Chains A and B, each alone.
Chain A
Amino acid sequence: MINISDSATKLNSLNRRMFILATAKIIILGGIVSRLFFLQVKENKKYLTLSDKNRIREWKLPPIRGDFEDYFGNTIAGNFEAYQLHIIPEEVEDFRYVIYRVKELLDLSEKQFKKILKKKNEIKPWETLIVADNLNWEKFSKINNHLYDLNGVKPVISISRDYPYKENFTHVLGYVSQANENDILTNENIKEKFVPGLKVGKTGLERSFEKRLIGSNSVERYEVNAYGRRISQLAFQKGDKGETIKLTIDTKIQELANELLKEKAGSICVMDIYTGAIIAMHSSPSFDPNSFVFGISQDEWQLIRNNPMKPLVNKSLSGNYSPGSTIKPIVALSALENEVIGKDFTVQCKGHKNPLELYGQTYHCWKKEGHGFVNLREAMKQSCDTYFYEVARRLGVDRLSVTAKKFGLGQKVFKDIFDNEKKGLVPNTEWKKNALGRNWVLGETIITGIGQGFIQTTPIQLCLMTAQIANGGYKIYPRIVANDESQYEDKFTPLYKNSRNIKIVQDAMFSSTNEPRGTSYRSRLNDSKYQFAGKTGTSQVKKITERDRELDLKTFQIPYEERDHALFIAFGPYKNPRYALSIIIEHGGSGGTVAAPLAKELFKMIVDRHEIRKNFDNKKYLDI
């Protein structure tokens, strides 16, 4: 009995406890279900996103950079497919193994290998390590064949910049190179489109037009597994190529300019005197911008940097030179405009024995024997300094500076397109007082009259000045981009008071090239189709002392840095002018012997190419 009642107690207790637990179980079950509900229903979106983020990787590919074309549509900066090898260290399980495999497959030299290892230590593990940036097809396919063994290694077909004309357009286009931290920080656009290996413009138009050139990234979405191994492509969104920018430059003339300046330091600028279109703009020496695309070697860089002829400087825009006698057309024009002199105003040049003397200073003409009595046309033809000393003295620097500025000296020609363009300097009395705190002295006016002293011009300014003289004295705005729509209200406004004065100057320049005793007579082209008018200039780098005058050394006897700069400005064809040019050869010696002959070659081609240019234009209209 006791047993039975005890058994009943036990069973009761058992069932009661089962009941308690059953209740607990239902509550716990409810808890699990609500947790499931929370995760799967309420938070579903969040986890779905996370799950997609897990499996979907986005890979931004570098945008394809827009091309540069010359006026005739030739590609002067294009793209080519570069086969690259990237590694993302984070995704590599055994970096040592992989990197040695890669070394073996690519046959890397010890030096290259060490460089890669060094680079690896510099980057973050999730950043891309570019092992090779320009592989040949053979090696590239070799890597592709071994990919199964190389986890984390990514063969990439990257679009890279190609400059088919090598050093010809370097100073106009600039060059591209890997975007560095500074580029990313300072340029939102680059920051947005940045991918490892992205090339951005570092100088020149490549830099100024970065925004239009860069294009948009192609984006590839693909599925990866937990180890980051790519499983399948989900989507590919092709980016747009950057804008193609067409320049006004004629490659043939540009190439000729390059050739003419070979082994010399200097610049050649050629401009259409009506449209302001730059036909050629070359600075010498130049260098091959292709070297910069994948990073230049230290040796090559040192060679460029240490070259005394300064290949890195764009002399056409940043070279500040004393214009020398090339300023004389402006001095003459200013004097005529201000009615300081007439067309027939005459001065007697007496040579070195009897120089112009003012307040104890003597002013010599370049010609030892003197020019005798010269009028404006003759003075310009023979570039008589004494005549222009006198004209400048009568004119005064302030009136001269007004005319010079009107014709574009002393200010940037291209506004903001080129960040390395210099303003030059057109001095006047007020400037000197503000800048140097001293009063202007008459002697300074005298030497400004022959383009020495404070006055500084860039070759492109001289070209513009010449163009505006050549087109009859109308304001133009030079441009280098063919379809540049910039509107300038004062375009083609007359820069003169009396158009006859311009004619006088043009005629004087004509005589300088085309009449005997003219300073550039030997460089003339007799065929009226090509005939051009010009003005030589020889600008002193070093003040000529009395001793120098006595020694009268030949150019080659003087140390290179002390030799005069040779300048020449010209426009043509004279009968119906269309083009203006400026040439400067640093430390070349006399403008007449060194610079002017180049114009002869140039004009031959410029005029011939004019026909082609015109036909090309017409054809273009016909196409429409």
Chain B
Amino acid sequence: MYQHTRFDNKNNFFQKFGSLDYVLLSCLLILGFISLATMYSTDGGEVLFHTRSHFIKFIVFFSMMIVISFINIKFWFSLGYLSYAIILGMLIWTVNFGITASGSKRWIDLYFLNLQPSELMKIFIILCLAKYFHRMKTQHVNSFYAICFSLIIIFVPMSLVIIQPDLGTSLLIAISGIVVLWFAGLNQKYFFYSCLVSIISLPIIISFLKPYQKLRVLTFLNPDRDPLGAGYQIIQSKIAVGSGGIMGKGFLKGTQSYLEFLPEKHTDFIFTLYSEEFGFIGSVLLLLIYSIIIYRVIRIGALSRSYFAKLFCYSFGTSIFIYIVINMSMVLGLLPIVGSPLPIMSYGGSSMLATMIGFGIVMSAKTHSQQSIA
């Protein structure tokens, strides 16, 4: 053990550079490229604000990811609680002093960037809980104390995000947390029962939803009941995807987006545009790239020595998978519309920042895969 530590400490820059996961890196680069091309298309075939901004963010955050991957995983382990606390503080700040846009307070003005702490929380909650369960003995995982603690860890930021209000992100935060609990070994019956309770209490939950949220659920069940209002997005999105066909309408030829039938095409509905222009083949290709990325993340976890690194990688990979699934299901009309970006593809600085930090930590686990954490 000692030797390993020593060996690790001796790791120089070039050794670290050589141990980066290049498959993962290339996939992320390809994804970034696809994302930029799609953004260019949403701008109507011109380099406008979104494309330019997305490009800069991608370059900055991608470089940042590489830097993070060079930092020892121990550092991220030690940062677990603190980072969570800082983001929580930011969320409280947001609720009180955040920037209001279209009825919700989600952002902190950092002058160079409008930061959305809730997006960061999706990653740092994993970090925090991974650290929490790292040293815990198996028999304690299902203890009342542990469960209470982790539920509080999940519930506090979640409720802060709900009051922004941002139902989608708060759900994603909760999912990120629950995923860690699943990997940490929380008794499966808890998951089973809570699913059951959720389903049973669904009507009660719905009665507490805001009118627009209720409308979304009803609209999801039958988009045609309000084709020009709440159902519009889902109908137009399905039309865009469906009309893409096998080969797609071709790059820059997606009429649905070009003629502005697609709402939120830069953000949550970016896949719709991509799918319209590149068709079934393009979509499956995109899914393949995502699958490789997730596979690599999980593989890094599997090859890591430390429980913390494994837990983080598995949870992060699974969370990313769930984000993708939720976004696509929503766009394809399989789930109600909740605000949920498609990792890296969607326009949005905070989301990309958080995702890249996540990949950075994963990569750090790779470069420090022999590192064990006491």
Q: Do A and B bind each other?
A: yes
A interface list, Cβ under 8 A from B = 6-7, 9-11, 13-15, 17-18, 21-22, 25, 28-29, 31-33, 35-37, 39-41, 43-44, 46-48, 50-51, 54-55, 223-227, 231
Q: In angstroms, how far is the closest chain B Cβ from the Cβ of A307?
A: 52
A600 to B126, CA, bound (A): 112
Q: In angstroms, how far is the closest chain B Cβ from the Cβ of A250?
A: 58
Contact B259 A48 (CB under 8 A): no
Contact B298 A22 (CB under 8 A): yes
Contact partners of B321 in chain A: CB under 8 A: 25, 28
- Cβ < 8 Å to A, chain B residues 310-348: 310-311, 314, 318, 321, 325, 328-329, 332, 334
Quick one: which of B184, B246, B311 contacts A40, CB cutoff 8 A? B246
Contact partners of B256 in chain A: CB under 8 A: 51, 54-55
Contact A54 B239 (CB under 8 A): yes
Quick one: which of A7, A22, A44 contacts B242, CB cutoff 8 A? A44
Contact B242 A47 (CB under 8 A): yes
Contact A54 B259 (CB under 8 A): yes
Q: A11-B307, A31-B334, A44-B246 are in contact. List 15 more A-B contacts (CB 8 A).
A: A14-B314, A17-B185, A25-B318, A32-B329, A36-B275, A36-B332, A39-B242, A39-B332, A40-B245, A41-B245, A54-B255, A54-B256, A54-B261, A225-B260, A226-B236
Interface residues as binary, B287-321 with A (CB distance below 8 Å gives 1, 0 otherwise): 10001001000100110000100110010001001
A231 to B329, CA, bound (A): 32
Known: A7-B307, A17-B183, A21-B318. A41 touches B280 (CB 8 A): yes
Contact B298 A224 (CB under 8 A): no
Contact partners of A31 in chain B: CB under 8 A: 334
A349 to B236, CA, bound (A): 96
Contact partners of B287 in chain A: CB under 8 A: 29, 32-33
Contact partners of A48 in chain B: CB under 8 A: 242-243, 245
Quick one: which of A41, A46, A50, A226 contacts B259, CB cutoff 8 A? A226
Contact A29 B291 (CB under 8 A): yes
Contact partners of B241 in chain A: CB under 8 A: 36, 39-40, 47
Contact A18 B314 (CB under 8 A): yes
Contact A54 B242 (CB under 8 A): no
Q: Does B137 contact A (CB under 8 A)?
A: yes
Contact partners of B298 in chain A: CB under 8 A: 18, 22
A46 to B245, CA, bound (A): 10
Quick one: which of B184, B284, B301 contacts A36, CB cutoff 8 A? B284
Q: Residue of A at shortest CB range from B245?
A: A44
Contact partners of B294 in chain A: CB under 8 A: 25
Contact partners of A35 in chain B: CB under 8 A: 329, 332, 334
A438 to B85, CA, bound (A): 114
Q: In angstroms, how far is the closest chain B Cβ from the Cβ of A437?
A: 67
Q: In angstroms, how far is the closest chain A Cβ from the Cβ of B250?
A: 14
Contact A47 B238 (CB under 8 A): yes
**Chain B interface main SS type:** helix
A31 to B287, CA, bound (A): 12
Contact partners of B275 in chain A: CB under 8 A: 36, 40
Interface residues as binary, B140-161 with A (CB distance below 8 Å gives 1, 0 otherwise): 0000000000000000000000
A6 to B141, CA, bound (A): 12
Contact B332 A225 (CB under 8 A): no
Q: Does B283 contact A (CB under 8 A)?
A: yes
Q: Residue of B at shortest CB range from A42?
A: B242
Q: In angstroms, how far is the closest chain B Cβ from the Cβ of A229?
A: 9
Quick one: which of A7, A21, A29, A39 contacts B182, CB cutoff 8 A? A21
Quick one: which of B242, B259, B284, B318 contacts A224, CB cutoff 8 A? B259
Contact B280 A37 (CB under 8 A): yes
A223 to B239, CA, bound (A): 16
Contact partners of B332 in chain A: CB under 8 A: 32, 35-36, 39
Quick one: which of B246, B255, B310, B328 contacts A14, CB cutoff 8 A? B310
Q: Does B240 contact A (CB under 8 A)?
A: yes
A227 to B260, CA, bound (A): 8
Q: How many residues of B contact A (CB 8 A)?
A: 43
A299 to B60, CA, bound (A): 77
Contact partners of A11 in chain B: CB under 8 A: 307, 310
Q: In angstroms, how far is the closest chain A Cβ from the Cβ of B141?
A: 8
Q: Does B244 contact A (CB under 8 A)?
A: yes
Most buried by A among B137, B239, B260, B284: B239
Contact partners of A36 in chain B: CB under 8 A: 241, 275, 280, 283-284, 332
- Cβ < 8 Å to A, chain B residues 121-149: 137-138
Quick one: which of A9, A51, A231 contacts B240, CB cutoff 8 A? A51
Contact A18 B183 (CB under 8 A): yes
A239 to B302, CA, bound (A): 71
Contact partners of A51 in chain B: CB under 8 A: 239-240, 242-243, 255-256
Q: Does B231 contact A (CB under 8 A)?
A: no
Q: Does B177 contact A (CB under 8 A)?
A: no
Contact A14 B183 (CB under 8 A): yes
Known: A51-B256, A54-B236, A225-B259. A28 touches B325 (CB 8 A): yes
Contact partners of A227 in chain B: CB under 8 A: 260
Contact A32 B325 (CB under 8 A): yes
Contact B318 A46 (CB under 8 A): no
Q: In angstroms, how far is the closest chain B Cβ from the Cβ of A476?
A: 65
Nearest 4 A-B pairs (CB), nearest first? Answer: A47-B242, A51-B243, A225-B259, A40-B280
Contact partners of A46 in chain B: CB under 8 A: 242
Contact partners of A44 in chain B: CB under 8 A: 242-246
Contact partners of A40 in chain B: CB under 8 A: 241-242, 244-246, 275, 279-280, 283
Contact B182 A17 (CB under 8 A): yes
Q: In angstroms, how far is the closest chain B Cβ from the Cβ of A18?
A: 5
Known: A15-B302, A18-B183, A54-B256. A47 touches B243 (CB 8 A): yes
A54 to B244, CA, bound (A): 14
A453 to B236, CA, bound (A): 78
Contact partners of A37 in chain B: CB under 8 A: 280
Contact B238 A39 (CB under 8 A): yes
A43 to B328, CA, bound (A): 18
Contact partners of B244 in chain A: CB under 8 A: 40, 44
A18 to B318, CA, bound (A): 9
A22 to B298, CA, bound (A): 9
A276 to B259, CA, bound (A): 63
Task: Show 29 residue pairs from A and B whose CB-CB distance is below 8 angstroms, ordered by the A residue.
Answer: A10-B185, A13-B138, A14-B183, A18-B298, A22-B298, A25-B321, A29-B287, A29-B291, A32-B328, A32-B329, A35-B332, A40-B275, A44-B242, A44-B243, A44-B244, A44-B246, A47-B241, A48-B242, A48-B243, A50-B239, A50-B243, A51-B256, A54-B239, A54-B255, A54-B261, A55-B261, A223-B255, A225-B260, A226-B259
Q: In angstroms, how far is the closest chain A Cβ from the Cβ of B116?
A: 26
Contact partners of A14 in chain B: CB under 8 A: 183-185, 307, 310-311, 314
Contact partners of B185 in chain A: CB under 8 A: 10, 13-14, 17
Q: In angstroms, how far is the closest chain B Cβ from the Cβ of A295?
A: 34
Q: Residue of B at shortest CB range from A32?
A: B328
Q: In angstroms, how far is the closest chain B Cβ from the Cβ of A542?
A: 70
Contact A43 B259 (CB under 8 A): no
Contact B242 A43 (CB under 8 A): yes
Q: Residue of B at shortest CB range from A49?
A: B243
Q: In angstroms, how far is the closest chain A Cβ from the Cβ of B164?
A: 28
Interface residues as binary, B255-277 with A (CB distance below 8 Å gives 1, 0 otherwise): 11001110000000000000100
